[in-house]
Amino acid sequence: MTDRRTLLLDAAIEVLGTRGLRQLTHRTVDAVAGLPEGSASNHFRTREALISGVLGRLVDRETELWGRLGGAQPLDAERFATAAGAMITELAGPGRAVTLARYAIFHEAAFNPDLQRRIAENRERLAAWGVPLVAALGSTEPERHYRMLLDLIDGLLLNQLASPTSSFDPATTIRTLLSAITPTPTTPAPSARS
């Protein structure tokens, strides 16, 4: 992706996340990006193309965030919960524009079958990365558990954005789900003495 294209998509995310879908125009994106008028329309001929591009960029940004928070080391359930909690806290706080942009697109998708298809494709793209991660935590049904985890994360984010609380602690909630979907270590039975 070219730097200018990335700059335009990040500006579009900023518009969606701070002003809403109705304000998403090529002209507004150009202004937020600090580029000459016509730049966004040169890269994204239609509004639908711009929204589609934003969808892909959101997946990239969220994957980058997971990578940064999770680090390169293999994650155990505790480190995963801590990393997921930090990611959710960031996406509900300093990164809230990214989350709100994503929800604006999801709202639009409810009325647009093409966007629904694109969202499904992007979910599969994320699943290719996330399902093995959940499997590595010990899940016996990694695909199903990965989807449960995404649903939980979306619910936590939505509730915190709609009704913020100072006691927001998503890592504890993630730990609770992980304890239900990953095996617990068993203590070996004591040997019988004769």
For residues 18 and 103, what is the distance between their CA atoms, to the nearest angstrom? 12
pLDDT digits (tens, 9 = 90+) for 9-25: 999 999 999 999 999 99
Q: Where are the alpha helices (DSSP H) in the chain?
A: 3-19, 26-33, 39-43, 47-70, 77-92, 96-109, 113-136, 142-162, 170-181
Class for the domain spanning 55-181: mainly alpha
The better pLDDT of the pair 165, 62 is held by: 165
For residues 116 and 105, what is the distance between their CA atoms, to the nearest angstrom? 10
Share of the chain above pLDDT 70, in %: 90
Give the range among 101-105, 118-122, 183-187, 189-193 with minimum mean pLDDT. Answer: 189-193
pLDDT digits (tens, 9 = 90+) for 138-163: 999 999 999 999 999 999 999 999 99
- Sorted by where each begins, the domain ranges of the chain are 55-181
Q: What is the CA radius of gyration of the chain?
A: 20
Spatial contact of 29 and 47, defined as CB atoms under 8 Å apart:
no
Q: Judge residue 172's burial from the number of C-beta atoms within 10 Å of its C-beta, 0-12 exposed, 13-18 middle, 19 or more buried.
A: exposed
pLDDT digits (tens, 9 = 90+) for 31-71: 999 999 999 999 999 999 999 999 989 988 887 877 776 56
Q: pLDDT averaged over the chain?
A: 88
Spatial contact of 119 and 97, defined as CB atoms under 8 Å apart:
no
Give the range among 63-67, 139-143, 166-170, 174-178 with minimum mean pLDDT. Answer: 63-67
List phi, psi (to 5°) of 117: -65, -45
Given the structure tokens 């600090």, which residue do they identify? 34
Amino acid 74 reads P
pTM for this one? 0.83
Amino acid 66 reads W
